[in-house]
Amino acid sequence: MTGPNQRPPGDGVPPSDPTVAWWERPGDGAGQNPAQADPTVLRGNIGAPGPYTAPPAPYQSGANPQPYIPPPGPYQSGANPQPFAQPQQFAQPQQFAQPQAGAYQAPRPQWGAPPRPPSSGNKAVWWIVGGTIVAVGVLVIGLIAFTANKVEDNPFGPDPDKWAGSYVFKDGKNACDLVDLTVLNQWASTRETTTHTERGPSEYIGGGSYDCDAKNKESGRNANEASLGLEVEFKTESESESDYSRWKGYDTKTTGKDYDHGAVSGLGTEAYYASEQRIYGSIPNDYSIVVAAHDSNISVKVEIEVSTMRTVDKAAMRTAAETQVRKVLAALKK
């Protein structure tokens, strides 16, 4: 171990020089003294020769150590730190120079609304709009024609041939005028009630009907009564069974001692009769007769009912009913 003024071994400096400390002596491998170097080769601007001063080490030990000064960085510490530089403003975009005459110019994209089509396109649109309006108008007219009241003037309406025939409903005709109600006077002479109903045909399905009900009654106890009922039904397009067939099925379904029924010839295409007698002892006896006929597009039914204490001629009742059916057919014939 060496002292502060002792020469380390191998430094080549006489240890007897008291003015030079050992740490100020050049170490092994130190080169030529810079003061003795060629000024044209190394540090030519050095002036008068002097002693060599080595650069300070990062940390020097000894009597007067120097603190380590870190190199300046992005943030400078010390007496006068420098603030961060303000960001630069972006430069304004430069305007493109106008192309010189004769130079090639690339096509520029067009911005904004597209150009208007030629005027001929507008004419085509108006033609389309006009055609649409005309088509709608024709459709409306067709619908009005379809719902017109006169079927014969409407080619799109229902076909009346599906329900038409040899007989026709007559507007303004009173149903009770189709028969002779005086026929009731032979059993009871005083008219008590008369009602009638007329329903015209539908222009789409045909049909139509007449109904009449009349009643005669005498005064006094156990007085005689007589009534007549008329039903007339015209054929409809939708019917699968005539009214005549329904009537016949109901009027002839009951048989027995007090019931009778059978066919009637010479009255329409088909006809029948059905009779019934009800006896109650001390109260008046009830007799009823029904005659119905079917011909072409019409069904007619007449029913006569008599309540009396006297004996009733059933054949006369049947003849009176048949006569009224013939009268109706004649009145509604085309």
For residues 296-332, one letter each, b for 16 or more C-beta atoms within 10 angstroms of the residue's C-beta and e for the rest, the string is: bbbbbbbbbbbbbeeebeeeebbebbbebbbbbbeeb
Q: How confident is the model at residue 4 (pLDDT cuts 50, 70, 90)?
A: very low
| pLDDT tens digit sequence for 22-53 | 666 665 555 555 555 555 544 444 454 555 55
What is the end-to-end Cα distance of the chain in Å, rounded?
161
Contacts of residue 65, defined as CB under 8 A and 6 or more positions apart, other chains included, come to 59
pLDDT at 133: 84
Six-digit token string for 37: 């170097």
Nearest by Cα to 230 from 278, 283, 300: 300
**Helix runs in the chain, H state only:** 119-146, 243-251, 314-331
| pLDDT tens digit sequence for 260-303 | 999 999 999 999 999 999 887 766 789 999 999 999 999 999 99
Tell how far CA 24 is from the center of its chain: 107
- pLDDT higher than threshold 70 for residue 1: no
| pLDDT tens digit sequence for 122-177 | 566 666 777 788 777 777 776 766 555 444 444 556 777 788 999 999 999 999 99
Q: How confident is the model at residue 219 (pLDDT cuts 50, 70, 90)?
A: confident
Angle at CA of residue 20, ends 17 and 22, nearest 5°:
105
For residues 175 and 210, is the Cβ–Cβ distance under 8 A?
yes
User: 132 in helix, strand or coil?
Assistant: helix
Percentage of the chain exceeding pLDDT 70: 56
